[in-house]
Amino acid sequence: MTYVINTFEGSAVSIQKDDNTSIPLDPANSDYQEVLDAIILEGADCFDGDIPADLQSAADAKLASGAYNANRV
């Protein structure tokens, strides 16, 4: 899966999956959590371009908190 950040007037507004699905920048959204999981698992390989610092920080925090489950159980 490849993700890209959608921006409006220089600010990130959503994440777009390679199937054109738009994911809101909302930590309560399950698709957003999948993006964080992909960042943890794949790093920069899952993004077209650089991973925005706020998403990388959120992924790092998720991993550090123990909330990331590689088995998705």
Ramachandran quadrant class, 20 (left: phi over 0; alpha: psi -120 to 50; beta: rest): left
User: Is pLDDT at 70 greater than 90 in this prediction?
Assistant: no
User: Is pLDDT at 24 greater than 60 in this prediction?
Assistant: yes
Could you please report the per-residue DSSP string of 36-54? HHHHHHHGGGGBSSPPPHH
User: Is pLDDT at 71 greater than 80 in this prediction?
Assistant: no
Token pair of 41, please?
């698992």
Which residue did the predictor score with more confidence, 70 or 55? 55
R_g of the chain computed on alpha carbons: 12
- Contact indicator for 35, 19 with CB cutoff of 8 Å: no
| Residue-wise pLDDT tens digits, 52-67 | 999 999 999 999 998 8
Which residue did the predictor score with more confidence, 65 or 69? 65
